[in-house]
């Protein structure tokens, strides 16, 4: 099971939000490039980058910084946040991002999402973020009427192979991931799941790994590695 460190970018800083609320932001580094080097140096197979400014504005805002991060490390990155047009998708993938995450457009523009999956296959991840079971969009500023399972089944039928699944009420709380919903998503859709939100300890990682055979392919870790709750090097050694 992949353990993927997250770097959330806001106004050029490396931050973490509490339940996605921009008013509840903690800055963990003023130098995201050095942070990326740190996680890569510990053995990270992949970096998860989020353009928070992009997520809230509806268009990428930190791509210049993303390019500098990519130049500084030798591992692939996946990027989400405000990617809502084919032009943005093409530009970002052409410039070296390995995978991009489409979230809001899976609800607001299904045709665009289908076309992106058709053109780029596994380089497209769908981000499904759930608040009380409903899909959250636009930087989690509102919820749609669709449940996370309904959207999961839809994107699977469109050709998606994997998603990032986040319980927004767990994100940034260190209260543990929503394993039950993550496993349910995997079972009911056949998708590979990268779990996200709430991871607090090595024990959480091991609990998720028990369900690897059901489709839990990876886990994104954020606040827990910045606060020292998880030793990332140890996590890589234990989970491979």
Would you say how long the chain is, in residues?
240
* CB distance 15 to 28 below 8 Å: yes
φ, ψ dihedrals at 4, nearest 5°: -120, 110
Strands (E), 81-177: 99-102, 124-131, 134-137, 142-147, 162-167
What percent of the chain lies above the pLDDT cut of 90?
A: 85
Sign of the Cα torsion 58, 225, 47, 116 reads negative
The model carries a pTM of 0.94
What is the DSSP code (8-state) at residue 169?
T
Judged against a pLDDT cut of 80, whether residue 237 lies above it is answered with yes
Q: According to the model, what pLDDT value does residue 19 have?
A: 81
With 0-12 / 13-18 / 19 or more C-beta atoms within 10 angstroms meaning exposed / middle / buried, residue 74 is: exposed
Using one digit for the tens of pLDDT, what is the confidence trace for 175-219? Answer: 999 999 999 999 999 999 999 999 999 999 999 999 999 999 999
Q: Does domain 2-239 have CATH number 3.20.20.70?
A: yes
DSSP single-letter state for residue 174: T
The per-residue pLDDT for range 106-145, each reduced to its tens digit, is 999 999 999 999 999 999 999 999 999 999 988 777 888 9
Whether 159 and 183 have beta carbons less than 8 Å apart is answered as no
CA distance 140 to 171: 11
CA distance 54 to 37: 23
> Which residues are marked as active site?
8, 129
Distance CA 38, CA 115 (A): 36
CA angle 142-185-155, nearest 5°?
65
Show me where the domains of the chain are located. 2-239
Joined tokens for residue 162:
């994997």
């Amino acid at each position: 099971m992949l353990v993927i460190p997250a770097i959330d970018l806001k106004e050029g800083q490396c931050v973490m939000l509490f339940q996605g609320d921009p008013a509840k932001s903690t800055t963990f580094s003023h130098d995201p490039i050095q942070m990326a080097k740190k996680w890569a140096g510990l053995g990270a197979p992949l970096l998860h980058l989020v353009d928070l400014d992009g997520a809230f504005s509806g268009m990428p805002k930190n791509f210049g910084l993303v390019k500098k991060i990519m130049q500084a490390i030798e591992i692939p990155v996946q990027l989400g946040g405000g990617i809502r047009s084919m032009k943005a998708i093409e530009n970002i993938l052409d410039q070296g991002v390995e995978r991009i995450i489409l979230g809001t457009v899976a609800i607001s523009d299904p045709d665009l999402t289908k076309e992106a999956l058709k053109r780029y296959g596994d380089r497209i991840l769908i981000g499904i973020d759930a608040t009380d079971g409903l899909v959250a969009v636009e930087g989690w500023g509102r919820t749609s009427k669709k449940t996370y399972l309904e959207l999961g089944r839809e994107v699977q039928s469109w050709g998606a192979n994997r998603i990032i699944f986040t319980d927004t009420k767990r994100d940034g709380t260190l209260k543990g991931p929503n394993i039950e919903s993550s496993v349910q998503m995997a079972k009911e859709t056949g998708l590979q799941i990268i779990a996200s939100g709430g991871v607090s300890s090595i024990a959480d990682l091991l609990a998720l790994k028990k369900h690897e055979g059901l489709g839990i392919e990876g886990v994104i870790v954020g606040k827990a590695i910045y606060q020292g709750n998880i030793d990332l090097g140890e996590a890589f050694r234990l989970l491979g």
